[in-house]
């Protein structure tokens, strides 16, 4: 059960995301957001909530919001297959791994989507930015920002009526079901607490796993180095999403991901081959 402070912080995160979207301008494709936080007993929980953009593949980019509910369900179905090497599952694995590299006790709070829509306001049709979110308690957040208005309207419904929810609500709920875990002892799912899952059933095993009594370190499974890595994240050359990179400083093994090709592991030879002496 989320506390009032957590709900307030999540609402603030949505408002901040709306400000960022305002700077990008209108006409952007729908965006999915994974919202997470550090443990709620931190000194400043309001500052711990963050949203991470979940990149869509080029084939799934939408020019309008009409296909968004179906896309959410399709995405959730792909994430519910723990032994399937689906591109979206690999993307989620990479996002969670990168979050836990710096925030090992991060906790999933909500899934959200941001999209442009047409709304009837005072008997007139107006373009508006919509943001729908569902948290782990099933609480519904609806942000509406009519174009030209200075401030958005944010409604929070603790017990949403199934007959009066946005079309995105079932899909966002399905995403939570596919990714959230109620306990920290689970070895599957992406609740962001407890051990990180391994993508079993794929040809590529993860290079890095969490390590230590509190899971606060990263260990290279190739050479055994602990917390000896460099990582980077940058806007993708695909024009959407991010490219991620994490490399072991000891053996050179690498994990990468991008919105088009998904996640890949490139283990380096170990023990390292001896250097050849020059002539």
d(CA 226, CA 121): 56
Over 50: is that where the pLDDT of 114 sits? Answer: yes
Place of tokens 């602990």: 226
What's the average model confidence in pLDDT over 203-223? Answer: 75
Give domain limits for the chain.
4-179, 208-266
Place of tokens 């519910």: 80
d(CA 85, CA 199): 8
Over 50: is that where the pLDDT of 95 sits? Answer: yes
What's the average model confidence in pLDDT over 111-125? Answer: 81
Cα-based torsion angle of the residue sequence 64, 11, 259, 82 in order, rounded to the nearest 10 degrees? -110
d(CA 93, CA 196): 9
d(CA 78, CA 1): 27
Instruction: Read off the DSSP letter of residue 252.
Output: -
CB atoms within 10 A of CB 17: 20
Q: How confident is the model at residue 183 (pLDDT cuts 50, 70, 90)?
A: very low
* Residues 202 and 98 sit within 8 Å (Cβ to Cβ): no
d(CA 98, CA 4): 28
Instruction: Read off the DSSP letter of residue 226.
Output: B
d(CA 21, CA 18): 5
Q: How confident is the model at residue 89 (pLDDT cuts 50, 70, 90)?
A: confident
What's the average model confidence in pLDDT over 218-229? Answer: 88
Tokens of 43: 């000194």
Give pLDDT tens digits for 224-256: 898 888 888 777 776 666 788 889 999 999 988
Q: What are phi and psi of 74, to 5 degrees?
A: -65, -40
Q: What are phi and psi of 101, to 5 degrees?
A: -60, -30
């Amino acid at each position: 059960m989320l506390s009032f402070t957590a709900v307030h912080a999540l609402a603030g995160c949505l408002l901040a995301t709306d400000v960022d979207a305002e700077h990008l301008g209108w006409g952007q494709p729908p965006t999915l957001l994974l919202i997470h936080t550090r443990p709620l007993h931190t000194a400043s929980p309001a500052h711990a909530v963050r949203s991470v953009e979940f990149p869509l593949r080029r084939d799934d980019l939408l020019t309008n919001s009409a296909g968004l509910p179906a896309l959410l369900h399709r995405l959730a179905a792909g994430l519910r297959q723990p032994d399937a090497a689906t591109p979206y599952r690999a993307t989620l694995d990479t996002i969670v791994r990168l979050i836990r590299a710096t925030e090992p006790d991060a906790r999933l709070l909500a899934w959200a989507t941001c999209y442009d829509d047409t709304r009837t306001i005072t008997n007139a049709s107006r373009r508006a930015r919509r943001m729908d979110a569902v948290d782990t308690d099933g609480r519904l957040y609806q942000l509406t920002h009519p174009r030209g208005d200075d401030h958005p309207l944010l409604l929070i419904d603790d017990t949403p009526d199934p007959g009066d929810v946005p079309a995105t609500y079932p899909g966002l709920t399905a995403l939570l079901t596919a990714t959230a875990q109620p306990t920290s002892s689970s070895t599957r799912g992406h609740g962001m607490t407890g051990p990180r899952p391994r993508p079993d059933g794929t040809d590529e095993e993860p290079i890095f796993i969490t390590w230590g009594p509190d899971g606060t370190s990263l260990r290279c499974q190739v050479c055994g180095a602990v917390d000896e890595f460099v990582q980077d994240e940058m806007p993708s050359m695909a024009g959407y999403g991010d490219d991620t990179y994490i490399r072991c400083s000891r053996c050179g093994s690498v994990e990468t991901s991008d919105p088009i090709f998904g996640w890949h592991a490139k283990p380096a030879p170990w023990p390292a081959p001896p250097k050849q002496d020059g002539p």
